[in-house]
Structure 1
Amino acid sequence: MKKIINQKILLRIIVALFWFAQYVYIPFQNPYLSMINVSANMIGTIIGSYGISQCLLRLPVGVLADSIGKHKCFILIGIAFAGLASFIRVIMPNSEGFLIANILSGIASSTWISYMIHYTGYFSYDDQQKGTSNIILVNNIGILAGFIVSTLFYDKLGMKALCVMSAASGMIGAVLALNIKEHQNQKINSNVPFSKYLLICTNKRLIFFSILALIQQGIQMSTTMSFTTQILKDLGATSLIVGLSSILYMISAVLSAGFASSKFCAKSGPKLWIPSVFSLISVYCILVSTLDSIPVIFLLQILPGMSTGILCSYLTSEAMKEVPQYQKSTAMGFFQAIYAIGMSIFPMFVGKIASSTSIKNGYFLLALLSIFGAAASVIYYKNFNTNILNQNDCIESNES
């Protein structure tokens, strides 16, 4: 038991370092690229490139992880690539360098499958939601630490220093990852054909919640992680305010992830929280794009934090509910590959709309997509409950 606890703590530390490396520069990526005269369209492409490599790699990584039954190598590769990406940003601090680096960062994030599956492997079937929320909580803590550091040091030291810190975090994490031990009950499934793993990708529940996650992640990447910071800058916010707004967002995400793993939150469950948070995000998109008050937009950052903490946790656990153990990594790879599409195309579309018309129109489109997510989840759970009732009626009639 003590060894398991120590391994869980080790993985939490590695996860925090991993996401610190991936996000310490993010609050100032848009303002920095704008400062060096990169167009909004190109910025959208740079941000979207982070998701493109994930779209291509997450499913193959999942299938491969299931087939070999091991996750240590993917965890090690992931954090090493996170560090390498920022090394590229240090030596090529221009649009081309950031484009290459964001592709490498996307490759790193493709291995997040193994981090999650390996960690939730320490929890029983009934505690999978708790395990998922716990690892997302640590994920958010790593990002929060990165946002705090960037806020404190960007004005004083600049973007290059943040990228050096990111590269160092990746290097330290890679050294620690050498000490990870595989689960003793993991089996190598080399005799199982790839087609059998891929069969899980036809699961309707998995597909539905993957599409909702596509919307959630796409909106998050297009707003809080990119263009909202630019909106604040355009309104005259200082770098300190931009950084603090990102910190507020991550504090909300950390607290929300902790709330998502609580018994109180579980009482209402996903049928309440998924549509509710989607609705709040639609309000966020409308208000941020129409208001010209820095303090109000600053406070509105609490809402996407709820999306990252509560919505992401529930969409992940709901998607994985019907997945057999031997297909877990493949299913997670499919889930993350689908939502990576949103991370890729949403910022690109918003960037194009911002260049051709206005950022307001881009945010209105995101609001409509969020409303669609809320409506679709309400309909799903209504039909789901109806199906359960019909099944129970059939059972009762057969027994009588």
Structure 2
Amino acid sequence: MSNTQKKQASLILWIVVCFWFAQYVYIPYQTTYLILANISSNLVGAIIGAYGISQLMLRLPAGILADLSSNHKLFILFGSLFAGGASLSRILLPDGIGFFLGNILSGTASATWISFMILYMSFFSQNDQIRATSRIIMANNAGMLLGFVTSTLLYDKVGMMMICAFSLAAGLIGFVLAFFLRSTKPSNYMNKVSFKELIKVTANKNLVLFSCLALVQQGVQMSTTMSFTNQIVQELGGSNLVIGVSSIIYMLSAVVFARLASTKFLEMMSIKLWICFSFLFLGVYCVLVPQTDSIVMVCLLQLIPGIGTGVLFSLLTSSAMQTIPEQKRSTAMGFFQAVYALGMTVFPIISGSIYEHLSMKYAFIFLAGTCFLAGTVSFVHFRRQEKSGRGVDKKSEVYHQI
């Protein structure tokens, strides 16, 4: 990698931090803010799920357009602008409608995440794709963590609208920084392919499988750590500060594990075991959280989904791209992100409905069941690969199978 490429890669990481700060600084208090505004649990689930609706609709088209144009800088500019603009909607309409529209705009911004990842990963060799994926996800999580720390320290003092103002400012800063990105294509970019050829990538079995597994991981994350786990902490008597600390513990865990995923730490186990055990632990988390009556225990349990965000999601993303030609990667990434956006949309709505009609406990049992199912499916998949002789399951080769 040349010195210029290193500078561009570093610049992307800084933009990523600003982008995800803007997207998540208000998240720890979104659910409690809306419920205190006398909005029903069903509607809160729909508002949270709205974040995934626009992603579900736009991520595949955005990926196709990115492959056809290769102008990732333009997508990053628009994404940063929409991330900040979403919170402007929340400031102007500080009610359910404003947050619903804001979450749709935030989802539209997240649809451009494809270009952030593809452009960054293009600066790294094929053997370094896991490391590259882990690093940009670490920057992603670092932006969220910074947002969570900011809102935790200041929410009680300045309120939700000022927190949304911070989000607006971060989006605008990312927008300005994006102007310094080079608009030229990466030097190793291959010849363009037709729209028909790009669409065919969605039939790739490997891509479909790992997209569905990511659907579960992201859906569970959005329903728990980003939503109803905070509600449980509040029902146990936790203050806004405690809710923020709980979210910080989760995000700090995610940052640490994402950093470890970019090192030889992954060689401790095969990718098969990392994915299977991560889903298992995530399921155990969903079983234990609604059972405990201790805020301290809930905070400690927040370390578990950090593994899912830091390690599991990095491996699912890299594995999904394993057999995809470079000239089709934006489309494939668009499909991958659209599928897991479905989980981010549907899971909070289902969980909110179960909570409304039954209880929080049953909502988390549903989420735990999906984790155990995903773990079983991934285990069966890797076993079939091993039997067919196509699987690579040696610790020493963990960096070279993707």
Could you tell me the TM-score, scaled by structure 2's length?
A: 0.95
- Distance, in Å, in 1 between the alignment partners of 2:391 and 2:224 is 42
* 1:98-144 deviation line (CA, Å, top 9, x unaligned): 00000000000000000000000110011001100000001000000
- Distance, in Å, in 1 between the alignment partners of 2:137 and 2:389 is 30
- Distance, in Å, in 1 between the alignment partners of 2:262 and 2:270 is 10
Q: What is the letter of the counterpart of residue 332 of structure 2?
A: A
* Aligned twin of 2:119: 118
* Aligned twin of 1:352: 353
* Aligned twin of 1:91: 92
Aligned residue for 1:158, secondary structure, equals helix
Q: What is the letter of the counterpart of residue 38 of structure 1?
A: I
* Aligned twin of 2:53: 52
- Distance, in Å, in 2 between the alignment partners of 1:234 and 1:65 is 45
* Aligned twin of 1:152: 153
Q: In the TM superposition, what is the alpha-carbon distance from 1:189 to its structure 2 partner?
A: 5.5
* Aligned twin of 1:195: 196
Contact 2:73–2:178 (8 Å) recurs in 1: yes
* 1:13-59 deviation line (CA, Å, top 9, x unaligned): 10000000000000000010011111100000000000010010000
Contact 1:69–1:188 (8 Å) recurs in 2: no
- Distance, in Å, in 2 between the alignment partners of 1:254 and 1:72 is 26
Equivalences for 1:200-349 in 2 at 5 Å? 200-349=201-350
* Aligned twin of 1:398: none
Contact 2:261–2:310 (8 Å) recurs in 1: yes
Contact 1:260–1:313 (8 Å) recurs in 2: yes
Contact 1:154–1:162 (8 Å) recurs in 2: yes
Contact 2:382–2:391 (8 Å) recurs in 1: no
Contact 2:53–2:345 (8 Å) recurs in 1: yes
- Distance, in Å, in 1 between the alignment partners of 2:302 and 2:269 is 24
Equivalences for 1:27-42 in 2 at 5 Å? 27-42=28-43
Q: In the TM superposition, what is the alpha-carbon distance from 1:291 to its structure 2 partner?
A: 1.2
- Distance, in Å, in 2 between the alignment partners of 1:86 and 1:154 is 15
* Aligned twin of 2:139: 138
Contact 2:122–2:186 (8 Å) recurs in 1: no
Q: In the TM superposition, what is the alpha-carbon distance from 1:193 to its structure 2 partner?
A: 2.1
- Distance, in Å, in 2 between the alignment partners of 1:149 and 1:110 is 25
* Aligned twin of 1:185: 187
- Is 1:69 the equivalent of 2:70? yes
Aligned residue for 1:386, secondary structure, equals helix
Q: In the TM superposition, what is the alpha-carbon distance from 1:183 to its structure 2 partner?
A: 3.5
- Distance, in Å, in 1 between the alignment partners of 2:382 and 2:89 is 46
Show structure 2 runs of 5+ residues with no match.
393-402
Contact 2:82–2:108 (8 Å) recurs in 1: yes
Contact 1:21–1:166 (8 Å) recurs in 2: yes
Contact 1:144–1:250 (8 Å) recurs in 2: yes
- Distance, in Å, in 1 between the alignment partners of 2:167 and 2:122 is 28
Which contiguous aligned blocks of 4+ residues in structure 1 show a shift greater than 6 angstroms?
none
Could you tell me the TM-score, scaled by structure 1's length?
A: 0.95
Aligned residue for 2:245, secondary structure, equals helix
Q: In the TM superposition, what is the alpha-carbon distance from 1:266 to its structure 2 partner?
A: 3.4
* Aligned twin of 1:3: 4
- Distance, in Å, in 1 between the alignment partners of 2:296 and 2:389 is 47
Q: What is the letter of the counterpart of residue 42 of structure 1?
A: L
- Distance, in Å, in 2 between the alignment partners of 1:121 and 1:52 is 28
Q: In the TM superposition, what is the alpha-carbon distance from 1:6 to its structure 2 partner?
A: 1.3
Moved more, 268-277 or 48-57: 268-277
- Distance, in Å, in 2 between the alignment partners of 1:218 and 1:264 is 26
Q: In the TM superposition, what is the alpha-carbon distance from 1:262 to its structure 2 partner?
A: 1.5
Show structure 1 runs of 5+ residues with no match.
392-400
- Distance, in Å, in 2 between the alignment partners of 1:105 and 1:387 is 43
C-alpha RMSD of the superposition: 1.4
Q: What is the letter of the counterpart of residue 165 of structure 1?
A: F
Identity %: 48
- Distance, in Å, in 1 between the alignment partners of 2:361 and 2:186 is 53
Contact 2:86–2:103 (8 Å) recurs in 1: yes
Contact 1:68–1:189 (8 Å) recurs in 2: no
Aligned residue for 1:122, secondary structure, equals coil
Aligned residue for 2:71, secondary structure, equals coil
User: Structure 1 residues 66, 389: CA separation in 2 closer, same or farther (over 3 Å shift)?
Assistant: closer
Q: In the TM superposition, what is the alpha-carbon distance from 1:195 to its structure 2 partner?
A: 1.2
Aligned residue for 1:277, secondary structure, equals helix
Aligned residue for 1:37, secondary structure, equals coil
* 1:191-239 deviation line (CA, Å, top 9, x unaligned): x321100111101000000000000000000000001001100110011
Q: In the TM superposition, what is the alpha-carbon distance from 1:390 to its structure 2 partner?
A: 10
Contact 1:140–1:250 (8 Å) recurs in 2: yes
- Distance, in Å, in 1 between the alignment partners of 2:267 and 2:210 is 18
* 1:261-318 deviation line (CA, Å, top 9, x unaligned): 1113135231010010100011100111111111101110000111100110000000
- Distance, in Å, in 2 between the alignment partners of 1:344 and 1:156 is 31
- Distance, in Å, in 2 between the alignment partners of 1:266 and 1:113 is 28
Q: In the TM superposition, what is the alpha-carbon distance from 1:188 to its structure 2 partner?
A: 8.5
- Distance, in Å, in 2 between the alignment partners of 1:389 and 1:13 is 38
* Aligned twin of 1:24: 25
Aligned residue for 1:240, secondary structure, equals helix
Contact 1:260–1:266 (8 Å) recurs in 2: no
Q: In the TM superposition, what is the alpha-carbon distance from 1:186 to its structure 2 partner?
A: 6.1
Q: What is the letter of the counterpart of residue 132 of structure 1?
A: T
